[in-house]
Structure 1
Amino acid sequence: MNQPAALSTKSSKTAESTMFKILFIISLCHLLNDAIQAVIPAMFPILEKSMGLSFTQLGIIAFSLNMVSSVMQPVVGYFTDKKPMPFALPIGLTFTLFGIFGLGFAGNFALIVLSVLFIGLGSAVFHPEGSRVAYMAAGSRRGLAQSIYQVGGNSGQALAPVITALILVPLGQIGASWFTIVAAIAVILLIYIANWYQHRLLVSPQVKKKDLTKEKSRGLSKEVKNALALILLLIFARTWYTSGITNFYTFYAIKEYALSIKESQVFLFAFLVAGAIGTFFGGPLADRFGKKNIISFSMLATVPFSILIPHVPPALAFIFLIFTGFILMTSFSVTVVYAQELVPGKIGTMSGLTVGLAFGMGAIGSVGLGSLADWIGLQSMITWLGILPILGLIAFLLPSDQKVWEWNQRG
């Protein structure tokens, strides 16, 4: 075999193999990035007491974080689909580093919001490019690769109650500044990832060109647009629910069950850890049972538990939160892969839409649910929140995995 042919065969085998080292590193970076983001809602009980903030103001802080990330993620994804920027990853986390440092020393509401905007901007840059790295390292196992990547982020979010109990409660607001160390570690790891990413583009540039050409020639059909609208609506429902639990359930547990801040964090920790585990299993389950089936199951099987959570004793509520978190989040990575397969060649854009818009709807949900809690009471808001997963019924309208595959072949 001549040398060019040997290199071609080697490149093909590399493209098909799953690069677990890269997947684990980008997943760890995702964990560190989202752990920093988790500091913000974790600080809500601290800020409510130290600054006397209302639920609406806390919702505005969450809105500031999530809306910047929502607006910018699809934009970043769109531009990096056209021109990949490997070193945007460490640069984005540098913005996050400055934001978390400022958050620890912010003396008023306005400075808190400004610091949070920097963190949101860093997240907006990280997520679509991080998802692209997972896609490039996936080989033929896209569901598993996306689950490994996404479980890092959800594990980082699950650390929020631990952060509150071990760092923020004893140290107060200034404890947030310690997470500049976490951000610095993430920046170093992402420099390594960026170098691999850049080398990968040099080795296999033809893959990217082929995908982009295919997408430009095909465009988006009405069928694909309708399917995207349905998947985004499902993401909105899931995110509104998780936003309500993440931002406000600790206040509910403190009020209804007479728990301390530390004790209430255990409930939230259980919900988030179960969600992280569900995220990991979602991808492999979808590879076996189909993406549409897992998306439908994740929403509808959650309904009995989400409705009952506000009406049961604390021990049972704790168990139901675990079930709800696990089942609901099995669809997290699956919806990303489903959207990427609906629109092949637009990896960053689809990641930005599905994950970015999820953050955005979480932002709107945070403000809306906070205002609703101020208006009708926290208990009533949590009760109505449990009905949201019923919107999972629209998952039955999604095209099957086989149909999506046929559309791609037709294109």
Structure 2
Amino acid sequence: MAIDTAAQKPATLPEPTMYRILVVIGFVHLLNDSIQAIVPAMFPILEASMGLTFTQLGVITFALNLTASLIQPIVGRYTDQRPSPYALPIGLCFTFFGVLGLALAPSFGFVVISVIFIGIGSATFHPEGSRVANMAAGGRRGLAQSIYQVGGNGGQALAPLITALVLVPLGQSGALWFTLVAAVAIGLLVYIARWYAHQEPVTAKRKQGQRQNKAPAAYKKLLLFSIVLLVFIVFARSWFQAGITSFYAFHLIENYGMTIQEAQIYLFVFLAAGAVGTFCGGPLADRFGKRNLIIMSFLGAAPLTMVLPHAPSFLLYPLLALIGFIIISSFAVTVVYAQDLFPGSIGMASGLIVGLAFGMGAVGSIGLGALIDWMGITYTMLFIGALPILGILTVFLPSDQRLNEIHGEEL
């Protein structure tokens, strides 16, 4: 049986990589995540215009993370069983009305409702967008997922620039410009949905998922252990990234005497380098193995992250660029690895990594904030810098070859 499977696999290799589809879905990912980024970017403006408390701002953050991140696995599981091409543009319609409401919101309650609409649109887009990247990948799944995910990282990196160039000069109403961004995204997703609806791999993936459910119990336990461990590892990376993006500016202000504007540039360098790392990580994983790339992204960054809180100011730019490039290079790779664990559940696997694990990391930033209140920013940065060491747990994940053997035996 294993010989037959091996004989059949070369037939799938000639499938072309649909770069046109990948570039479009990656660009829409950039638009979607730049829209999502305007919510925290607007906090200083909403605090000033509405007199919101930090508790109310926390509620807004929680509402965004709950809808945009934590329900992604649910959406992914549903679309695994019922492929829904036109869920993509429909989801972005929610985002359009959410942005419109945010720009015109007269009260705190209206802001929360608007943010929930943005979150629903994002939660719908991410697992289905990852599925589109998988369908268009051909034989280069790591590269395909990198092209898709680099759009999202690029959108997040735009947040400091959005704050400085759009929201500060125009205020709350400046968010109206992002309704045009949402409209462009909807139009592109209609094009993607039409392509998606005509793809035969949708049926093939559902059948593959049905075969996977018949795997021996020993394999099921191994795969379940692996996905739980992978989510934990991504959770640690998300804690680190949330710590840098949310609190490192305070460290720079307190210990280096920088202004808010100067600190934002350092965050942009970290996020922009991370976007480049995301793009490079997929092709490297295709060549050297996904698990190997995940291990190196954590352990390669760990010495640098532990030095960062003590580094002199002239080393901060290169350190942040290197750290962002190395540790975020595994972002897309962890998604592909999760899909390899459960190849019949592409949407759910993507939702677990991009949504649940990343969202829980953002929610975990509440814990980091409490740690700062207790220990101070300097000691908390030392704790944040040690988080990448947890990447050593990746050695307990099955190798790429082992996963191929498992799924080959199942077939």
For residues 60-71 of structure 1, the aligned pairs below 5 Å read 60-71=59-70
CA contact (8 A) 1:56 1:371 kept: no
Aligned-partner Cα distance in 2 for 1:79–1:19:
25
Question: Taking structure 1 as reference, are residues 46 and 378 closer, same or farther at Cα in structure 2, changes over 3 Å only?
Answer: farther
CA contact (8 A) 2:17 2:136 kept: yes
Identical counterparts, % of pairs: 57
Aligned-partner Cα distance in 2 for 1:332–1:261:
28
Question: Taking structure 1 as reference, are residues 245 and 224 closer, same or farther at Cα in structure 2, changes over 3 Å only?
Answer: same
Question: Taking structure 1 as reference, are residues 345 and 227 closer, same or farther at Cα in structure 2, changes over 3 Å only?
Answer: same
SS in 1 for 2:199: helix
Which residue pairs with 1:3 in the alignment?
none
CA contact (8 A) 2:234 2:358 kept: no
Aligned-partner Cα distance in 1 for 2:320–2:54:
22
SS in 1 for 2:269: helix
Of residues 205, 208, 211 in structure 1, which corresponds to 2:208?
A: 211
Which residue pairs with 2:193 in the alignment?
194
Structure 2 gap segments, 5+ residues each: 1-10
Amino acid at match of 1:305: L
Which residue pairs with 1:257 in the alignment?
256
Matching of residue 139 in structure 1 with residue 146 in structure 2:
no
Question: Taking structure 1 as reference, are residues 319 and 173 closer, same or farther at Cα in structure 2, changes over 3 Å only?
Answer: farther
For residues 121-140 of structure 1, the aligned pairs below 5 Å read 121-140=120-139
Amino acid at match of 1:378: I
Which residue pairs with 1:340 in the alignment?
339
Matching of residue 27 in structure 1 with residue 26 in structure 2:
yes
Amino acid at match of 2:77: Y
CA contact (8 A) 1:23 1:134 kept: yes
Which residue pairs with 2:6 in the alignment?
none
CA contact (8 A) 2:301 2:388 kept: yes
CA contact (8 A) 2:232 2:357 kept: no
Aligned-partner Cα distance in 2 for 1:205–1:103:
36
Deviation at 1:265, TM superposition (A): 1.5
* Alignment RMSD (CA, Å): 2.1
Deviation at 1:128, TM superposition (A): 0.5
Question: Taking structure 1 as reference, are residues 119 and 16 closer, same or farther at Cα in structure 2, changes over 3 Å only?
Answer: same
SS in 2 for 1:217: coil
Amino acid at match of 1:30: H
Amino acid at match of 1:260: T
The TM-score with structure 2 as length reference comes to 0.91
Which residue pairs with 1:103 in the alignment?
102
For residues 7-406 of structure 1, the aligned pairs below 5 Å read 16-48=15-47, 57-201=56-200, 206-218=203-215, 221-406=220-405
Amino acid at match of 1:235: V
Aligned-partner Cα distance in 2 for 1:13–1:387:
42
Which residue pairs with 2:4 in the alignment?
none
Deviation at 1:22, TM superposition (A): 0.4
Amino acid at match of 2:213: K
Deviation at 1:52, TM superposition (A): 5.8
Question: Taking structure 1 as reference, are residues 36 and 286 closer, same or farther at Cα in structure 2, changes over 3 Å only?
Answer: same
Aligned-partner Cα distance in 2 for 1:42–1:254:
18
CA contact (8 A) 1:283 1:334 kept: yes
Question: Taking structure 1 as reference, are residues 274 and 286 closer, same or farther at Cα in structure 2, changes over 3 Å only?
Answer: same
Amino acid at match of 1:283: G
Structure 1 gap segments, 5+ residues each: 1-11
Which stretch of the first structure deviates more once superposed, 392-401 or 59-68?
59-68
Deviation at 1:307, TM superposition (A): 1.8
Amino acid at match of 2:234: I
Aligned-partner Cα distance in 1 for 2:131–2:270:
28
Aligned-partner Cα distance in 2 for 1:53–1:384:
30
Aligned-partner Cα distance in 2 for 1:103–1:250:
26
Aligned-partner Cα distance in 2 for 1:333–1:272:
15
CA contact (8 A) 1:372 1:381 kept: yes
Which residue pairs with 1:8 in the alignment?
none
Aligned-partner Cα distance in 1 for 2:45–2:304:
29
Aligned-partner Cα distance in 2 for 1:100–1:15:
42
Question: Taking structure 1 as reference, are residues 362 and 209 closer, same or farther at Cα in structure 2, changes over 3 Å only?
Answer: closer
Deviation at 1:54, TM superposition (A): 5.8
Deviation at 1:244, TM superposition (A): 1.6
Amino acid at match of 1:208: K
Amino acid at match of 1:89: L
SS in 1 for 2:214: helix
Which stretch of the first structure deviates more once superposed, 364-373 or 178-187?
364-373
Aligned-partner Cα distance in 1 for 2:54–2:240:
17
Aligned-partner Cα distance in 2 for 1:250–1:370:
13
Which stretch of the first structure deviates more once superposed, 128-137 or 252-261?
252-261
Question: Taking structure 1 as reference, are residues 253 and 43 closer, same or farther at Cα in structure 2, changes over 3 Å only?
Answer: farther
